[in-house]
């Protein structure tokens, strides 16, 4: 069955505006904001991989190549909205206001890394696949019942659409018209499983039809398309329309995580081709140059500022007080079960013997 879900593109790979409907809305200030945040999260991502390779950070999930999807969607949010990330959406979280040192702490296994900055509604990263999708529906419905105009965005990969939580979350959101944007980053692989081996649908966007909600397919490497489509979906949500499913077609250059070897299941030469032709930062750079926005001095200035910010965040992470071993046991349940209490007692006895 052929279903038409054309990919929305506003600026093409060469930096040319191909959709005149958005010309007036694309200001110099907005374009520079796009570029700043994309440079910032790419710098963070590369530093995190370097730290992991040096043994200074735990296993890490990189996102390079998906900057347009994460920055464009996060910048469309209002300050009181909710953000429900996966373990790969720290770029979106950073853009939305998460502390950089806290995200480094998260990847070092610290529970403090799950605590958002004061006033920020950022859910802890969801490692189990798709569990954040029903959570987003619940939080959004709560905002609706409170009478606010706040909305939620839930991030997930293509693999999440094969999980029951995806269908349950979308069904619930559809029935109750919860103000949620379900934002899929489709990089065509669920770890090692290509998309054609995990679903028979031609697109992810068409799954919206089953829940009678709008579904859109966009160029996930075009930050202009991402930003304006998410902005429109959020407006729809805030005014009682309910939820929207957006499929951002993108590509991640590197491994699923730093413990993965993508050469075992995909041709990595495709990454190099995409980097040279469809890289999301390169696209904005080309747009800026062709529209007289590019200034070498400004780019150098923000690059230096971001590098300094990242290094400061690393220092804060590495100088953070040592973890409290009780945290392993005290926050599993509201009231510890006997099994947790027993494990805690046994562990404290063990480290007590080792200290002697």
Supply the residues annotated as catalytic. Answer: 252, 256, 265
Query: Residue 153 is encoded by which pair of tokens?
Result: 């965005």
The CA radius of gyration of the chain, in Å to the nearest whole number, is 21
For 54-131, where are the alpha helices, taking DSSP H only? 67-75, 90-96, 100-106
Give the C-alpha separation, 68 to 224, whole Å: 8
Q: Are strands 152-157 and 121-122 parallel, antiparallel or unpaired?
A: unpaired
For the chain, where are the alpha helices, taking DSSP H only? 28-53, 67-75, 90-96, 100-106, 132-146, 164-175, 223-238, 269-277, 280-290, 296-318, 327-330, 338-355
Token pair 């750079």: residue: 285
CA distances from 191 to 194, 210, 340 (A): 8, 26, 33
Helix (H, G, I), strand (E, B) or coil at 292: coil
- Nearest C-alpha neighbor of 151 from the set 164, 142, 163: 142
**262 CB-side CA count, 13 A:** 22
Helix (H, G, I), strand (E, B) or coil at 185: strand
What angle do helix axes 28-53 and 67-75 make, rounded to 10 degrees? 130
Q: Are strands 189-190 and 244-249 parallel, antiparallel or unpaired?
A: unpaired
Token pair 């065509």: residue: 188
260 touches 190 (CB < 8 A): no
């Amino acid at each position: 069955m052929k279903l038409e879900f054309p990919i929305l593109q506003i600026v093409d790979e060469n930096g040319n505006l191909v959709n005149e409907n958005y010309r007036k809305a694309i200001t110099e200030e907005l374009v520079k904001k796009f570029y700043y945040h994309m440079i910032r999260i790419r710098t963070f991502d590369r530093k995190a991989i370097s730290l992991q390779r040096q043994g200074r950070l735990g296993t890490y999930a990189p996102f390079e190549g998906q900057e347009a999807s994460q920055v464009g969607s996060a910048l469309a949010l209002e300050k009181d909205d909710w953000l429900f990330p996966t373990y790969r959406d720290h770029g979106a979280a950073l853009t939305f206001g998460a502390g950089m040192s806290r995200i480094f702490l998260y990847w070092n296994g610290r529970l403090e890394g799950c605590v958002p900055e004061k006033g920020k509604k950022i859910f802890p990263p969801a490692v189990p696949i798709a569990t954040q999708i029903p959570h987003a529906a619940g939080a959004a419905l709560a905002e609706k019942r409170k009478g606010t105009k706040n909305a939620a965005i839930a991030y997930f990969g293509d693999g999440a659409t094969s999980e029951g939580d995806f269908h349950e979350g979308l069904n619930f959101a559809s029935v109750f018209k919860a103000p949620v944007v379900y934002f899929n980053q489709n990089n065509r692989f669920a770890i090692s499983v290509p998309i054609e081996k995990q679903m028979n649908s031609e697109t992810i966007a068409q799954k919206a039809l089953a829940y009678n909600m709008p579904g859109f397919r966009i160029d996930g490497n075009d930050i202009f398309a991402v930003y304006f489509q998410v902005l429109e979906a959020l407006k729809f949500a805030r005014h009682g329309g309910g939820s929207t499913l957006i499929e951002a077609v993108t590509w991640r250059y590197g491994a699923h995580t730093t413990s993965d070897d993508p050469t075992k299941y995909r041709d990595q030469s495709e990454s190099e081709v995409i980097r040279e032709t469809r890289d999301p930062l390169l696209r904005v750079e080309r747009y800026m140059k062709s529209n007289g926005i590019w200034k070498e001095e400004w780019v150098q200035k923000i690059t230096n500022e971001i590098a300094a910010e990242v290094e400061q965040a690393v220092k804060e992470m590495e100088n953070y007080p040592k973890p409290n071993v009780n945290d392993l046991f005290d926050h599993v349940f509201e009231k510890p079960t006997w099994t947790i209490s027993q494990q805690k007692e046994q562990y404290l006895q063990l480290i007590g013997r080792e200290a002697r």
